[in-house]
Amino acid sequence: MCRSYAIQRSPQFHIMDYVKLLEEILASGYINVIRFFKRAEFTFSQKKDAEKALFKSLKIIESKGGIHAVTAKRLLCNFDNFINTLSAQQYWSSLNVRAEKIATNTAQIILQEKEEQNACQIRSNMLNQNIQLLERKRKDTDDFEKERATKKQDVDMPPFDDKSEADPNDELDFDNNEVFSIEPNIILTDNNNDDHMLFLNHEEYSEEEISTDKVDFG
């Protein structure tokens, strides 16, 4: 008993393309289901669609009449055996193996690409970390140099000029000129034998006056 198939069209072919293809195969006198599947370029995942396309094409050829109508009707009545021959099974099995190899190779390529991407990401992260470390070190060095330059500038600056009056009780030495402050009276001596002044009780007297006893020391 012949059975009916609901055909799902392959995106590469219109149903009449399958009919024309099958008519060419029947006209050659060499009826082989594998030739139809190959020339229609069905993949393993499209096995069911390929069988439906073959069944529908045979139905159309039978309904049209003509020289291939009888052959098409005979194949339809024996359709299950026609599509499940040993050669047909081997054909689909080989397509399955090929598809698995392609899938495996694709998976390996994808895995390899992911591994390379991960390795590149790791290298990129390490490079960024090294760059950040170098930037921190450079900043620390710059800060240190700035701090050292600031300290050096402070050291090289002249001391603060204190113009406040000296304490009258301070002892000073000016190249053999000595000033000694004893009591409120101040005596200035000079080893250079230059004229100098003697200050007593805040009054000025020359040496001549002192030597001639013109000075009253009270």
More confident residue, 171 or 53: 53
71 in Cβ contact with 26 (< 8 Å): yes
pLDDT at position 145 over 90: no
- Amino acid symbol at 91: Y
What tens digit of pLDDT does each residue of 49-66 get?
Answer: 999 999 999 999 999 988
pLDDT of residue 165: 54
Q: What is the mean pLDDT of residues 158-168?
A: 54
Q: How confident is the model at residue 112 (pLDDT cuts 50, 70, 90)?
A: confident
pLDDT at position 35 over 50: yes
207 in Cβ contact with 198 (< 8 Å): yes
pLDDT of residue 143: 79
Q: How confident is the model at residue 135 (pLDDT cuts 50, 70, 90)?
A: confident
| Verdict on whether the full-model pTM lies above 0.75 | no
Nearest Cα to 46, choosing from 76, 1, 9? Answer: 9
Nearest Cα to 58, choosing from 44, 78, 39? Answer: 78
pLDDT at position 178 over 70: no
What residue has token string 């020339």?
39
pLDDT of residue 154: 64
Of all residues in the chain, the percent with pLDDT exceeding 90 is 39
